Amino acid sequence: MHWTVDYSPQDHLVRVTSDGQGAADRAQLRQLTRDAMAAGHAHGCARFLIDHRLTRLSLGAAEIFDMPRRGEDGGFGHALRIALLITPDSPSRADFEFYAIQCGNLGIHGLRLFHDEAAARDWLTAP
């Protein structure tokens, strides 16, 4: 899996887009998170649009369960907002939903799943 990280000054958000080539494993997702957080810190931006519409995950339930603890808030505190954009028919939809639930269980409430990019952008850019 490969990805691009771009900063959008007009929306003041960091956009990460994965290309869907190959299934995403734990090491790749950790590096994607590091790259996104680095861009966020470089631009003073705590809002992230992660486009995983082409992403297939190669993770077990135990790995997904543990992943939110690895990322925590990345140094952004309560300002952190992450919109994960997936497709409704994604083969990894259940895994993304499990991840979002686990984030909520751990008190990480600034992460939401979206199927519609406009809705994700609206949520991210709302005051």
- pLDDT band at residue 58, thresholds of 50, 70 and 90? confident
The pair of structure tokens assigned to 83 is: 């919109």
Whole-angstrom Cα distance, residue 15 to residue 31? 15
Q: Note the pLDDT of residue 72.
A: 56
Judge contact between 69 and 106, C-beta under 8 A.
Answer: yes
Q: Note the pLDDT of residue 4.
A: 94
Closest CA to 84 of 109, 108, 117: 117
Regarding pTM above 0.85, the answer is yes
Element (H, E) at 51: strand 47-51
The contacts of residue 106 (CB under 8 Å, 6+ apart) are: 68, 69
Between these two residues, 58 and 8, which has the higher pLDDT value? 8
The pair of structure tokens assigned to 59 is: 């993770």
Mean pLDDT, the chain, integer: 86
